[in-house]
Amino acid sequence: MSEANIVPLGNPSVVGLAGFGLTMIIHQLHNLELCSIGPVIACGMVFGGLAQLLAGFLEQKRGDNFGYAVFTAYGAFWIVYSLIQLFNKFDVYPSSTTDIGYLMIVWTLYTIILWGASLFIHGAMSFTFTLLVLGFILLDLAHFGYPAMGKVGAFVLIFSALNAWYIMAHIIFLDIFGRDVLPVGEPWLTPRLLPNAKPVSWFKKINP
């Protein structure tokens, strides 16, 4: 197929980042006791779950392992979390606060791996995942005897989600205006430090 016949496709990361950010915000509003668990389950199953999974599979299509790992894993995480809440509601395989705490700890460790990769992408991504790791650590503490940390972690994770939306807006505006309206900053670590490292570009459209 010649380049003239190639039809550019949209960037799936905008949907993944949108679902990630919205579901995270709704969940933290629940942790701050501002809304019930209902919107969290609904968003977790559909927007944070299914939509992110689909975005991750499309990231795999364009060869982006970071986006693939982030969106498929976080999509699956929100579906798992929603199912846990439903199981607790209907007393099917109920999970205690400690049970969920162990899930959060393991998820924190996974997020730390992604945080390491984010340091080579751009400043906004690094900041998003730094807040994400910190927020999960605070939620871990909340599940193991320090409930006040859950409130603090909720605010940290809301800021992380808003940063994810900023990256989403950066990609959309870059495509629409053809210039960098919302800059994301340089990577905190550069490939020069690791010659074989390749920063991930979340700005290109994918082609079939």
pLDDT tens-digit series, residues 125-182: 999 999 999 999 999 999 999 999 999 999 999 999 999 999 999 999 999 999 999 9
What is the phi/psi pair of residue 122, to 5°? -165, 170
Q: Residue 50 in 3-state DSSP?
A: helix
Q: Quote the percentage of the chain above a pLDDT of 90.
A: 85
| Of 83-87, 124-128, 200-204, the least confident | 200-204
On the question of pLDDT at 204 being above 60, the answer is: no
Q: What would the two tokens of residue 103 be?
A: 């899930």
> Residue 197 class from Cβ within 10 Å (0-12 exposed, 13-18 middle, 19+ buried)?
middle
120, 137, 145, 180 from 153: Cα distances, Å: 25, 8, 14, 31
Q: Are the C-beta atoms of 168 and 21 separated by less than 8 Å?
A: yes
C-alpha–C-alpha distance, residues 18 and 206, integer Å: 18
Tally of CA atoms within 13 A in the half-sphere of 144 that contains its CB: 12
Give CA–CA dist 78/160, Å, rounded: 16
What are the beta bridge partners of residue 206? 9
pLDDT value, residue 206: 42
Cα–Cα distances in Å, from 129 out to 140, 154, 196? 16, 15, 22
Residues 83 and 101: their CA atoms lie apart, in Å, by 15
Is residue 157 within 8 A of residue 24, CB to CB? The reply is yes
| Cα first-last separation, the chain | 10
Q: What is the pLDDT of residue 199?
A: 54
Residue 208 has a pLDDT of: 38
Local confidence band at 184 (pLDDT 50, 70, 90 cut-offs): very high
Minimum mean pLDDT among 10-24, 44-58, 180-194: which range? 180-194
- Bigger pLDDT: 6 or 195? 6
- Looking at residue 207, its pLDDT comes to 41
pLDDT value at position 190?
84
Helix (H, G, I), strand (E, B) or coil at 61: helix
